[in-house]
Amino acid sequence: MVPRLMRDPLTGARVILAPGRAARPGAFSAPVPIPDDGECPFCAGRENQTPPEISAIRSKTSRANDSDWTVRVVPNRFPAVASSGMGIAGAACGVHEVIIETPRHGQRLVDLDADGVTDLIGVYFQRLRDISIMPGISRALVFKNCGANAGASLVHEHAQAIGLNMVPPLMGAEERRRARYQLKTGRCLVCDLMGRARQSGRRVIFDSSQGCAFCPPAPRFAHETWFVPQDHGYPSATAYRALALGLLHVLRSLERLVPGAAYNLVLAGPAPCEAETHHFVLKLLPRLTGIAGLECGGGLHVNPVPPVHSARLLRESSQQA
């Protein structure tokens, strides 16, 4: 197949789909272990090693910062943004939180059951909602770095939520493209992308009446998958469940294809005034290939796995389980 130059329909980023590069030596990065000395501040029973919790899913009889919890949100001890200085020109300000996704050290997201992942999806969206309406915050983002190749520094499974006093460039580019599409066609770009994927079926991995998981037409990363709830606005509890089932389906398939695969999860929030009409997209970005000179110097990602091939592999891997 001749390499093809594609454009991400949401961000406008250019991508080269180059299947021939999949055969080159070292095309896919081997998982890198994260050092683990066992002194983990995220484990149950060590709540005094983190700042006091912001919120948590815990038993009705337990109190804040007790050890009886399943998900816990705390301030990040090493924030990427300052908590003060909102009025200072050029200052990167906001809030930065850690979502501790399990009390058990070594338990991974892919190992959780559907109820556990449904709870996590709910926490992701709740943190987006709460942070986005804080004074001085322009945009909120939830992200998860799983594995050293994806930027994780701790073994204990966790995600992060961040609120910024500015609009990040990629989020701004996506918002502008969505708005232009709406103005030009009168339709939602995300709805149409999901509809096109469903119409052909070749890029769909998981589908239900509440949402869809599909490989985008111009993925930056091998096996990149988008999880899209059916309706606009913050999802309902039923939609949380559908997103959780889709995410588990794809993560377990990915684990069978590449045991220990590193990945990023990204969930971007809109401006608060647009929350009711915004169509959310949870993006899974597997980190199976490295980021090298063309990506860093030219802003041009090279993906050796076409999306139709990715979707087929992820579907077939699930059927073999």
Domain assignment present for residue 31? The answer is: no
277: containing domain: 4-21+37-84+91-320
Predicted model pTM = 0.94
**Which pLDDT does position 25 carry in this prediction?**
46
144-176 pLDDT, tens digit each = 999 998 999 899 999 999 999 999 999 999 999
Tokens for 45? Answer: 């029973």
Does residue 245 belong to any structural domain of this protein? yes
**pLDDT, mean of residues 28-39:** 76
What angle is formed at CA 243 by the lines to CA 241 and CA 246, rounded to 5 degrees?
A: 110
Distance between CA atoms of residues 251 and 117, nearest Å = 11
Domains contained in the chain, number: 1
Alpha carbon separation from 119 to 25, 174, 246, 251 (Å, rounded): 41, 28, 14, 17
Does 110 fall in a domain?
Answer: yes
Asked whether residue 245 carries a pLDDT value surpassing 90, the answer given is yes
30 within domain boundaries:
no
Q: Flag whether 72 is in a domain.
A: yes
26 falls within a domain: no
278: in domain:
yes
39 — pLDDT class (breaks 50, 70, 90): confident
Query: Is 227 within 8 Å of 211 (Cβ atoms)?
Result: yes
- Residues 179-228 have pLDDT tens digits of 999 999 999 999 999 999 999 999 999 999 999 999 999 999 999 999 99
Contact 29, 287 (CB under 8 A): yes
Instruction: For 108-150, write each residue's pLDDT tens digit.
Output: 999 999 999 999 999 999 999 999 999 999 999 999 999 998 9
The answer to whether residue 199 is domain-embedded is yes
Average pLDDT for 308-315: 94
Q: What is the mean pLDDT of the chain?
A: 92
- Per-residue b or e along 231-269, where b marks 16 or more CB atoms closer than 10 Å to that residue's CB: ebebbeebbbbbbbbbbbbbbbbbbbbbeebbbbbebbb
What is the model's pLDDT at position 292?
80
Query: Taking Cα atoms as reference points, which of 196, 130, 141, 136 lies closest to residue 170?
Result: 141
Residue 231 belongs to a domain with what CATH number? 3.30.428.10
